[in-house]
Structure 1
Amino acid sequence: MPRFAANLSLLYPDLSFPQRIAAAAADGFDGVECQFPYDWPAAELAARATESGLPWVLINTPAGDWQHGERGLAALPGREAEFRRGVDTALAYAHTLGCRRLHVLAGLQPPGVDRSRCLATYADNLAWAARQAADAQATLLIEPLNARDVPGYLLRTQAEAHRWVQTLGIPQLKVQMDLYHCQISEGDLTRRLQHDLPTGRVGHLQIAGVPDRHEPDDGELNAPYLFTLIDTLAATAGQASPWIGAEYLPRRGTEPGGTSAGLGWLRAAREALASRPVL
């Protein structure tokens, strides 16, 4: 059965970041993830998770100057040293948190810089980061982002991400498949899941409603169908239960208790999956 992780960067915005861990546990999530944990001491976040009985599932590597629009450093020529310092920082946090998945953001193609140069930088940085991850027994993830929300992002499609994993041939490198981004960019989620999940190249999944990035039961996606499909594909392939990160903007925003009030989708998913026949 899929395991669901609360993305603390977006969920429970009415609470302080450390308090969100206990809230996720109280609401029945199986784990927690976030985009950038670096404003809080890793030891405190690890202790809060241990107290709540939830594992840390995923964090991002530092993304550069996020407030001014940067979305990663891995493919930016001339920023290699900064990228590598960020990976070292992320691995140190991951070690303290007991987290084994790191999402490496590629970044936006800089104006006037040839795409081929960015791709060469990306390949070198991913290979270097994968060697560091291997020593730490961690997995690196690369995630295509849609051009509507993140115009200019270097990594755009699932096929492109899978080609990187296949071409580099690094066991520690896998694809992070965000169904929200994939639906906006490409659609045809069923066929993409059927093609990609059994390969073992998908290391993490995320979901949000489309088009507005609210709860998964909001908008055009059929979340119960997708959860059942993911469960079936993983079981048929003999894979461990996949993690699905809930990375969305709660409909009720910062209203106290708003995230918890919108978790009908999670309860419905658990009930549907529990009632399925065992394969």
Structure 2
Amino acid sequence: MTVQTTGQTDAKTLAEMAVEVLTCAKGREKTELSHAHAARWRASREAGNTIEVGTASPPLRPGRPERPELLDPREVPQRKPGTPEGRIAILHAIAHIELNAVDLHWDIIARFSHVPFPLGFFDDWVKSADEESKHFNLMCDRLEAMGSYYGALPAHAGMWQAAEDTAGDIMGRLAVVPMVLEARGLDVTPGMIRLFEQAKDRETVDALKVIYAEEVAHVAYGAKWFNFLCGRDGLDPKEEFHTLVRRYFHSGTKPPFNEEKRAEAGMPPDFYWPLSDALPPAWSR
């Protein structure tokens, strides 16, 4: 059953709350608002008086602070990761990713609130947005402890492109954002953890481990709801995933893959290896 409302009309709808987060421009304020709205949604669910999902008109692009300066990915300066400056650059890049993730998760709520989903769909993405808000603040705290701040360095300008490309396609959004972009985070985070362990930066290691553990669930939510839609529409999930990734994500999936964590998130190897240019020997037989 896909009931989305319970008759509560005296408060903002969930979709309207999502748009409030999306239009907020300042990072810390955006995440504070995200936490507050997530808490309101969670409280309404626990009380059995669920806030109406509703509908809204999200902006094509979310509000953003004046800094960081956004550059083409090829123009973002590369810094040696083994140096203090390089480690700051890594944390800055992660903070930028996490802020985009806050908006991506609220955007999927606002932009696709008209799609008939069980309320569990909205539970999952509100929880994800709440956790991404925590992740952004963890990275900002570490940057500030190291004498820097979010906005001090240039950042990747292409982070929001996947959202724009899939603005009219819920299955494309699920395929590209959680099942490709966030899954990539599962691949690269262990290496970043090792880097900060070598630097004996225990606080950053602890923060990255929190992010790593929680991102598995975000990928899993994408796989769960992608499979839900495929089942409802009688589609083969693997074939549909390949079609949509080739349509919307032109960079390809690149190994090495964290096959253990991807499997934990509900993504078997035959989803992502065939999209790679570097197939392992078993796939060529």
Please indicate the TM-score interval, normalised by the length of the shorter structure.
under 0.3
Per the normalisation by structure 1, the TM-score is 0.28
**Max radius of gyration: which structure?**
2
Higher fraction of strand: 1
Higher fraction of helix: 2
